[in-house]
Amino acid sequence: MAPPWHCSAYSATVPAMMGHSHALSGVVGWMAVVPLVQGTQFLGLDFNLGPSEIIAGSLVCAGAALLPDVDHKSATVTKTYGKVTEMLSDMLSFLFGGHRMGTHSFFFAVLMGVLVQLLALWSELAVQIFVFLLIGIALQGLGFGLDKNRTASGIINALATAAITLALYSAGTNYTWLGLAVAFGVVLHFFGDMVTKMGVPIFWPFWKKRIGQNKGFKTDGPVEQKVVTPLLTVGIIVGSIYLFDWPALLPDGR
């Protein structure tokens, strides 16, 4: 049986990118835009991203980059919170026209971004809960959920997620950019699916053509395993070296 994060589990004939590649692309994507938006104003938001905003944004983006596959039963995001996400998956799959339809459109990206931004305006606590849920999805996607023992992996995942969310909270992380990061992560998912031969109906519901179908490389094939995943990983290392002021992050006297 295909592992739960295996995006292509939904169809043997139409391959899609693996969950961990999507999650990695979210991390790299956020790290790549930080230098571009740093110190600027966009949509009325001030971008002053410190280390905690960079880490939080990377994980939020990674989680969001898995969200579109909520329209499928076997996707990482659907399996992350058991019955809760499974029910959500059934509902969203129905509302958005089934697999790889509405949840793979700019409409969905904008909708998610706006909803999350409204959530952020409404309640500080709701933001923390949403960030916690997304980080959980991200860690699951990045492969922190051990597959063999579901209960143990669920507990480890929840503890790690809680620890990270709390650490980001006590660091005073500013989440004004949350909606944008979510929309951006969702859009990154589309690119991931497009480069793996799977078309994405990005203009749904207006135009249901799957853009990018049958172009690109095979899912979990040699290109994804030997080129894409290592490149994304190197991207994260380079990004971390470049973005963080490491000497300043270390405690004094070391």
Q: Tell me if 193 contacts Zn ion by CB under 5 A.
A: yes
224 forms part of the interface with Zn ion (CB under 5 A): no
| Least distance to Zn ion, CB of residue 161, Å | 23
Q: Considering the complex, state which of residue 141 and residue 179 has its C-beta at the smaller distance from Zn ion.
A: 141
Query: 132 or 210: whose CB is closer to Zn ion?
Result: 210
Determine, following the binding rule CB under 5 A, whether residue 69 of this chain makes contact with Zn ion. yes
Helix, strand, or coil here: 75? Answer: coil
Nearer to Zn ion, 3 or 51 (CB): 3
Region from 14-22, 49-57, 115-123, 145-153 binding Zn ion, contact rule CB under 5 A: 14-22
Alpha-carbon gap, residue 120 to 159, rounded angstroms? 24
Residue 201 Cβ, how far from Zn ion at the closest point, in Å?
Answer: 11
Q: Which residues contact 42 (CB under 8 A, 6 or more apart)?
A: 180
CB of 138 to Zn ion, least distance (A): 16
Q: Comparing C-alpha atoms, which of 183, 219, 227, 223 is closest to residue 198?
A: 219
Task: Provide CB contacts within 8 A for 187, sequence distance 6+.
Answer: 106, 109
By CB under 5 A, residue 220 contacts Zn ion = no
State the CB neighbour count (10 A cutoff) for residue 137. 30
Cα(232)–Cα(229) distance, integer angstroms: 5
> Least distance (Å) from Zn ion to the CB of residue 189?
6
For the CB of residue 17, give the shortest distance to Zn ion in the complex, in Å: 7
* Phi, psi for residue 45 in degrees, rounded to 5: -105, 140
Residues that bind Zn ion (CB under 5 A): 16, 68-69, 193
